[in-house]
Amino acid sequence: MQLGYRELHPAAKPPNWRPMAVRRIRQLGDPMLRLRCERVQNPKSAATRLVADDLRDSLAVARKKYKMGRALAAPQIGAPVRIVFVQMDKQRWTMINPEITDVGPDDFLVWDDCFSFPNLLVRVNRAYQITVSYTDPKGKQHTMELEGPMAELLQHEIDHLDGILALDRASGVDPFAFRSEWEKVHEAGERHGPPKPREV
């Protein structure tokens, strides 16, 4: 598929002219969430910057609205390209063409959530340690070793780029809960289980 962001948003003006652009976050059932996204050919292009800026602005608004969230993937705002934007505390990363290049020996259970189904929690099994490589908007290549919450976050976001949702990875008995019900019977700290050697 050759859909560029400009084709998706023909009214978009060059980046310097644009005010804050908050995009609607696509919700469960929207076919956009099921596409396998295209690799970004030019990380330094204006089109790439447009998507990265919109992810940043859309995440900022969604975090305020839902009081949660650390990242957004481009298909969630209607751009089927391989870009993820992460904000943890005050640090931000725009990850272009992110890839998991290595996985450690442990898994852990996570009660995962997603802006595309914000009221639902899903128990999933994720690798506890991963190595991720990506390109930044200046075109520089990076490799990061991540563990725990940051590792599961990137697995969730990179899944989005392949049209995979946390729901598809539901694990164990009774893996779904509405957030409001989950909060009645669990503490916030129970969102992440301890690391355990992977069962093969």
Query: Given the complex with Zn ion, which of 25 and 47 has the nearer CB atom?
Result: 25
The answer to whether 52 and 5 are in contact (CB under 8 A) is: no
Residue nearest to Zn ion (CB): 114
Q: Is 96 in the site for Zn ion (CB under 5 A)?
A: no
Minimum CB separation from Zn ion for residue 156, in Å?
6
83 binds Zn ion (CB under 5 A): no
Select from 114-122, 147-155, 177-185, 188-196 the region that touches Zn ion (CB under 5 A): 114-122
Query: Does residue number 81 form part of the binding site for Zn ion (CB under 5 A)?
Result: no
106-112/91-103 β-pairing: unpaired
Nearer to Zn ion, 81 or 114 (CB): 114
- The catalytic site residues sit at 157
Q: Does 114 help bind Zn ion (rule: CB under 5 A)?
A: yes
**Which is nearer to Zn ion, 52 or 114 (by Cβ)?**
114
Stretch that binds Zn ion, among 20-28, 113-121, 133-141, 142-150 (CB under 5 A): 113-121
In this structure, are residues 51 and 21 in contact, taking their beta carbons and an 8 Å threshold?
no
Total residues binding Zn ion (CB under 5 A): 1
| Range in contact with Zn ion (rule: CB under 5 A) among 24-32, 112-120, 130-138, 183-191 | 112-120
The position carrying tokens 């209607």 is 78
Buried b (16+ CB within 10 A) or exposed e, 131-151: ebebbebeeeeeeeebeeebb
Q: Toward Zn ion, which CB reaches closer, 18 or 65? A: 65
CA gap 81, 97 in Å, rounded: 8
In the DSSP assignment, the letter for residue 8 is: H
71-98: burial string, b at 16+ Cβ within 10 Å, e else? bbbbbbbbbbbbbbbbbeeeeebbbbbb
| Residue-wise DSSP of 25-39 | PP-TT-GGGGSPPBP
Asked if residue 153 binds Zn ion (CB under 5 A), the reply is no
Is 25 one of the binding residues for Zn ion (CB under 5 A)? Answer: no
Paired strand residues for 71? 86
Which residues of this chain interact with Zn ion, rule CB under 5 A? Answer: 114
